[in-house]
Amino acid sequence: MPLLTLIIFLPMIAGAILALTMPTKKMKHAALGVMIVDLLLVLYAAMTFDWSGTFVTEARVFAETIATTFQHREHLPWLPEFGISYTVGADNLSMIFVILTAVLGIIGVLCSWTSIVHREKEFYFFLLALQTGIMGTFLAIDIFLFYMFWELMLIPLYFMIGNWGSKNRIYATMKFVIYTMAGSVVMLVAMIWMYYNNGAYNPQLGVIEYVRSYSYEIMLQTQSGDHGTFQASYFPFLALFIAFAIKVPLFPLHTWLPDAHTEAPTAGSVILAGILLKTGGYAIIRYCIPLFPDASISFAPLITWLSVIAIIYGAMAAIVQTDIKRLVAYSSVSHMGFVTLGIFSFNPAAMSGAILQMINHGISTSGLFLAVGMIYERRHTREFKEFGGLATNLPIFAALTMVMVLSSVGLPGLNGFLGEFNILLGSMQNYPILMQAQDDASWAAAMGMTQYTWLVALGATLGVIFGAVYLLIMYQRVFFGKLDNEKNKGLTDLVPREWGQLAFLAVAALAIGLFPKPIFDAMAPATRTALEPVARVLQMEVKDKGYELAVPGVVIENEEELLALGE
């Protein structure tokens, strides 16, 4: 059974059929049904999935037979002349995000239940089409296919924000589309470039043997070698990274995000924050790091600094916002800064922290956007000064939002803490260990910022503190104090549909916070796969300089320590 294909295309195709046949009033029920079926399919796929990370099988890519770690794999030659195929498959990394996507898809429908009143059919069609684009992005393992899905995500979101957004929506959509497209066209060039320069050095013959294919599996086997050149690694790395960093978004490419978030309808914000930003982080872990370990190491200092700036800048910007939704949007910039920081620390603890941070952000920020949406639906404003003392007449709402805020702040016991803690731990740990091998001055210079590790850690920690400041201030201003605004007195508390969504996310946050072992177990193979090429290159470089790594194999082999942390 083509399980993954079904998971990817079911939402869009069913959405198109439903939009043409269903009466307008029933569309949301139908859309919910489709999302639930999609989730069931995903759960079935997850249950039949081998999470141990030891799965290897023989698979065909066109005429070749290769070893692959991807499961539920489907391969269909599409344009064989160009090495383009329809190949989808899942590994631990993509499976985690696919589950997140399926869950948030349902919440996306539920939170639009009453807030979308005009052109419902189109709205739910776009929501379902967006789901297809995102699922495809996570599951494609042919980079051409990946690019198609990547672009497909853009179109429904453009219309969702443009049609159902708030008053400044047109400016926001244009900004969003242009930023994203600018990134993706450069990515397009890089992908074609990779196709023509994709090869492995053959030491016997002394030449590079080119393999022309867009298949990620083939690229993984050939490209992760010794290309320390602009041509073979720096340019494609940078081009891909910029495209992904715009999605993440990394400072200074983040400016589209606050606008898009603020203007988007609640479902748009939830999907945008919950899943779309993750495609950026996912793609960096999937493509940038394993395919270009050399370039990743060279650019790591720069990216680390940008991440630290993003963390602090996002937090500072959030403090001064007067619009609740904008505040949450800037908090996204800050939180996603942790993700890139964690990824580019090249350390298992930080890497799994980064993946977890993405999941956490998907849960807590989506929850916050839901909460903002619920307030907005009642009061049609999001300004701080309009609120105060809501805890008196909306107790359930206040309690559930509190969980979301605390999860976002990073309170121990909730999910947010584990992600940020692991990232901080990993990023501090990584560089000192390498330092011991670095008497060689030029090697130290190549790593750029190693001397300033404490600054990075300090900056990131400051970000955590600021995060607590602005989120708690927001909570205090909205929910505590006197209920003095007349308009707020008549507000009704949440209906079951509403608190159901928030409660679900709150339970998820609590569950991850208290029982993190399963999720760390699930992430461990993904972390190892992503870091292996980098570790190989690092070890080789250190060996070339005549040193041994201070703690041999530290970069890939301290999973026990990591697991201990999780428990």
Partner 1 sequence: MANVLLILPELTIFLAAILVFKCLILGLSVLHVWRVAFAGSLLGLGACLITLGMTGEPFHPGIYRVDLFSQLMKTVIAAALVLVLVLSDSPPVMRRDAWRELPFFLLLSSAGLMMMTSATELITLYLALELSAFPVYALIVLHRDRRMGSEGATKYMLQGMVASAVTLYGMSFIFGLSGTTYLSEIAAALPELGSQPLFWVGLLLLLAGFLFKLALFPFHFWAPDTYFSSPHPVATFIATVSKVAAIAVLCRMVAVAGWNEASIDGETLRIVLIVLAVAAMTLGNLAALVQKDFKRLLGYSAIAHAGYIVVALQAFSSLGHTAIVFYTIGYLAMTWICFMVACEVGRNRDTVPVSALAGLWQRSPMLALCLLIGIFGLTGLPPTVGFIGKWFLFSAALEDGQFLLVLIAALNSAVAVYYYMRVLRVAYLLEPAKEDTGILAPSPLVVTGAMVACLVVLWMGVAPNYFWEIAAEAIVALGATY
| Residues of this chain that bind partner 1 (CB under 8 A) | 78-79, 81-82, 144, 147-148, 151-152, 154-155, 158-159, 162-163, 169-170, 173-174, 177-178, 181-182, 185-186, 188-189, 192-193, 195-196, 235
Provide the minimum distance between the beta carbon of 460 and partner 1 in the complex, in angstroms, as a whole number: 33
Residue closer to partner 1 by CB (options 236, 533) is 236
Q: Are 223 and 210 in contact (CB under 8 A)?
A: no
d(CA 349, CA 286): 17
Residue closer to partner 1 by CB (options 169, 286) is 169
Task: Please return the burial class of 445, using the count of CB atoms within 10 Å of its CB with bins 0-12, 13-18 and 19+.
Answer: exposed
Provide the minimum distance between the beta carbon of 172 and partner 1 in the complex, in angstroms, as a whole number: 11
Provide the minimum distance between the beta carbon of 534 and partner 1 in the complex, in angstroms, as a whole number: 26
Q: Are 527 and 343 in contact (CB under 8 A)?
A: no
Residue closer to partner 1 by CB (options 188, 472) is 188
Provide the minimum distance between the beta carbon of 105 and partner 1 in the complex, in angstroms, as a whole number: 21
Residue closer to partner 1 by CB (options 83, 89) is 83
Partnered with residue 66 across adjacent β-strands are: 59
Tokens of 151: 């672009």
Task: Please return the burial class of 105, using the count of CB atoms within 10 Å of its CB with bins 0-12, 13-18 and 19+.
Answer: buried
Residue closer to partner 1 by CB (options 268, 337) is 268
Neighbour count for residue 395 (Cβ, 10 Å): 13
d(CA 510, CA 251): 30
SS (H, E, C) 45-114: HHHCCCCCCCCCEEEEECCEEEEECCEEEEEEEEEHHHCEEEEEEECHHHHHHHHHHHHHHHHHHHHCCC
Q: Are 5 and 88 in contact (CB under 8 A)?
A: yes
Q: Which residue has the tokens 């650019």?
A: 299
Query: 316, 370, 299, 306: which is closest to 339 by C-alpha?
Result: 306
Residue closer to partner 1 by CB (options 128, 359) is 128
d(CA 221, CA 68): 10
Residue closer to partner 1 by CB (options 83, 353) is 83
d(CA 517, CA 138): 23
Partnered with residue 87 across adjacent β-strands are: 75
Provide the minimum distance between the beta carbon of 267 and partner 1 in the complex, in angstroms, as a whole number: 18
Provide the minimum distance between the beta carbon of 156 and partner 1 in the complex, in angstroms, as a whole number: 12
Tokens of 89: 């498959």
Q: Are 489 and 483 in contact (CB under 8 A)?
A: yes
Residue closer to partner 1 by CB (options 191, 310) is 191
Residue closer to partner 1 by CB (options 80, 395) is 80
Give the contacts of 311 (CB within 8 A, at least 6 positions apart).
Answer: 334, 337, 338, 341, 459, 460, 462, 463
d(CA 13, CA 140): 18
d(CA 364, CA 319): 18
Provide the minimum distance between the beta carbon of 171 and partner 1 in the complex, in angstroms, as a whole number: 10
Provide the minimum distance between the beta carbon of 101 and partner 1 in the complex, in angstroms, as a whole number: 20
Residue closer to partner 1 by CB (options 190, 328) is 190
Partnered with residue 60 across adjacent β-strands are: 65
Residue closer to partner 1 by CB (options 152, 510) is 152
Provide the minimum distance between the beta carbon of 197 and partner 1 in the complex, in angstroms, as a whole number: 9
Provide the minimum distance between the beta carbon of 122 and partner 1 in the complex, in angstroms, as a whole number: 9
Q: Are 534 and 431 in contact (CB under 8 A)?
A: no
Residue closer to partner 1 by CB (options 233, 352) is 233
d(CA 123, CA 117): 10
d(CA 159, CA 126): 8
Query: 16, 145, 125, 155: which is closest to 82 by C-alpha?
Result: 145
Provide the minimum distance between the beta carbon of 193 and partner 1 in the complex, in angstroms, as a whole number: 6
Task: Please return the burial class of 173, using the count of CB atoms within 10 Å of its CB with bins 0-12, 13-18 and 19+.
Answer: buried
Residue closer to partner 1 by CB (options 179, 387) is 179
Provide the minimum distance between the beta carbon of 164 and partner 1 in the complex, in angstroms, as a whole number: 10
Provide the minimum distance between the beta carbon of 148 and partner 1 in the complex, in angstroms, as a whole number: 4
Q: What Rg, from alpha-carbon coordinates, does the chain have? A: 23
